[in-house]
């Protein structure tokens, strides 16, 4: 196991702790990473868009511990200002339009934020302080139509969505800035990673939330798309440690972070329903409208480079992950249903057509 600095690591600054800036801090990964870095003694800054400032649920419990700065991946001056203010040693870019299904509906926004936004940030780092260590959230969606199983850092990319294409651009531009300017820039090619903090639109959380609502009599069915696609699902809490480890190495590099197991969506569904004592066949409706225009059929990651060089390995198993998510959603709905508490439905989302 790699033994990096266990607790707070000091920089050249007088009596100051290491500092990190996280973009996308209000998302699932941002919230886990912020907790992780605080635990290591970092001073943690988060870049927040005006619109997500109104959605701080995942980091509400860290209020007073993380320092939020206004900014937007599309607005380079705001990135420069955030870097000037935070003076980070490390920047973790977790900001993105991260929902694959939506990327067909908003292909240009996805390209701008998920793709070009990374160049804005790299340019800002290059001009403000090229010594900053940079982590880019690359994605297994870049592999797309895979021709090799499992996929590793040398597997060719063949993206199957506007999101995947934007991530390929972001990955290559990060590698290019490392090679052109000598930036300490790393790409973590993360396979699907989930948790009770996952957004409700992603399939794991849609399923765990659906199971909880059916179990508690709040819903009678769950509509899903393609049950045959296979994913390599890990626990987000495990994966943020790998992000940090990448930036503690002597040399920058790119790493696949995965579990090495692949499961069909159907197995996810079966596992989640049976954990709640339900037969999924009675409740799941396959809706062709939820199929994607192009699908990534199979993802399975080979994380041996991360294991050998970073000493990283996943801890939570697939079954433990699914059970953790179902239990968390059952608990959440039971709390919501307590007498006297209004049900906090998402009225805005209900007006939109179902997401695929």
Ligand X SMILES: Nc1nc2c(ncn2[C@@H]2O[C@H](COP(=O)(O)OP(=O)(O)O[C@H]3O[C@H](CO)[C@@H](O)[C@H](O)[C@@H]3O)[C@@H](O)[C@H]2O)c(=O)[nH]1
Stretch of residues binding ligand X (CB under 6 A), selected from 9-17, 84-92, 201-209, 275-283: 201-209
Q: Cα dist. 315→197, 221, 235, 259, 289 in Å?
A: 18, 32, 8, 9, 36
CA geometry: angle 176, 182, 188, nearest 5 deg: 55
Q: Which of 240, 258, 247 is nearest to 307 (CA)?
A: 258
Stretch of residues binding ligand X (CB under 6 A), selected from 46-54, 137-145, 211-219, 343-351: 137-145
Pick from 110, 192, 195, 259 the residue near ligand X by CB under 6 A: 192
| Residue given tokens 């069915």 in the structure block | 221
Pick from 87, 201, 261, 267 the residue near ligand X by CB under 6 A: 201
Residues 202-231 that bind ligand X (CB under 6 A): 202-203, 206, 224-226, 229, 231
Task: Output the smallest distance, CB 341 to ligand X, in A.
Answer: 28
Stretch of residues binding ligand X (CB under 6 A), selected from 37-45, 138-146, 307-315, 336-344: 138-146
Pick from 23, 103, 139, 151 the residue near ligand X by CB under 6 A: 139
Task: Output the smallest distance, CB 223 to ligand X, in A.
Answer: 7
Task: Output the smallest distance, CB 6 to ligand X, in A.
Answer: 30
Residues 52-91 that bind ligand X (CB under 6 A): none
User: How far apart, in whole angstroms, are the C-alpha atoms of residue 113 and residue 57?
Assistant: 22
- Residues annotated as part of the active site: 139, 141, 163
Interface size with ligand X, residues (CB under 6 A): 22
First to last CA, the chain: 40
Residue 100 in contact with ligand X, rule: CB under 6 A: yes
Q: Which of 50, 39, 31 is nearest to 5 (CA)?
A: 39
Q: Report the residue number, 34 or 146, with the smaller CB distance to ligand X.
A: 146
| Residue given tokens 């659906």 in the structure block | 210
Residue 290 in contact with ligand X, rule: CB under 6 A: yes
The SS3 assignment for 210 reads helix
Task: Output the smallest distance, CB 258 to ligand X, in A.
Answer: 9
Instruction: For residue 56, count other CB atoms closer than 10 A to its CB.
Output: 18
Radius of gyration of the chain (CA): 20
Q: Which of 36, 228, 256 is nearest to 143 (CA)?
A: 256
Residue 31 near residue 58, CB atoms below 8 Å = yes
Residue 113 near residue 74, CB atoms below 8 Å = yes
Residue 265 in contact with ligand X, rule: CB under 6 A: yes
Residues that bind ligand X (CB under 6 A): 98, 100-101, 139-141, 191-192, 201-203, 206, 224-226, 229, 231, 265, 290, 292, 295, 299
């Amino acid at each position: 196991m790699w033994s990096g600095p266990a607790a707070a690591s000091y920089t050249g600054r007088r009596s100051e702790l290491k500092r990190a800036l996280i973009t996308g801090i209000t998302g699932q990964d941002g919230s886990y990473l912020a907790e992780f870095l605080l635990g290591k003694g970092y001073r943690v800054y988060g870049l927040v868009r005006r619109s997500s400032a109104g959605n701080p649920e995942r980091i509400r419990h860290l209020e007073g511990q993380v320092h939020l700065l206004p900014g937007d991946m599309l607005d380079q001056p705001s990135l420069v200002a955030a870097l000037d203010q935070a003076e980070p040693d490390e920047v973790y870019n977790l900001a993105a339009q991260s929902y694959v299904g939506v990327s067909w509906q908003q292909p240009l926004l996805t390209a701008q934020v998920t793709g070009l936004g990374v160049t804005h940030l790299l340019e800002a780092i290059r001009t403000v302080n090229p010594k900053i260590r940079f982590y880019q959230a690359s994605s297994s969606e870049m592999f797309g139509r895979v021709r090799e199983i499992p996929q590793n850092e040398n597997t060719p990319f063949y993206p199957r969505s506007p999101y995947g294409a934007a991530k390929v651009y972001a990955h290559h531009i990060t590698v290019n800035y490392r090679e052109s300017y000598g930036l300490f820039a790393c790409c973590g090619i993360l396979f699907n990673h989930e948790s009770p903090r996952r957004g409700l639109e992603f399939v794991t959380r849609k399923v765990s939330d659906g199971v909880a609502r059916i179990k508690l009599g709040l819903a009678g069915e769950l509509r899903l798309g393609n049950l045959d696609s296979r994913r390599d699902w890990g626990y987000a809490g495990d994966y943020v440690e790998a992000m940090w480890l990448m930036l503690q190495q002597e040399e920058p590099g790119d790493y696949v972070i995965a579990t090495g197991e692949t499961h069909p969506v159907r197995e996810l569904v079966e596992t989640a329903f049976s954990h709640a004592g339900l037969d999924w066949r009675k409740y799941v409706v396959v809706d062709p409208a939820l199929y994607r225009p192009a699908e990534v059929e199979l993802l399975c990651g080979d994380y041996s480079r991360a294991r050998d060089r970073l000493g990283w390995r996943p801890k939570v198993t697939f079954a433990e992950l699914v059970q953790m998510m179902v239990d968390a959603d059952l608990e959440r709905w039971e709390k919501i249903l307590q007498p006297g508490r209004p049900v906090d439905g998402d009225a805005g989302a209900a007006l939109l057509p179902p997401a695929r």
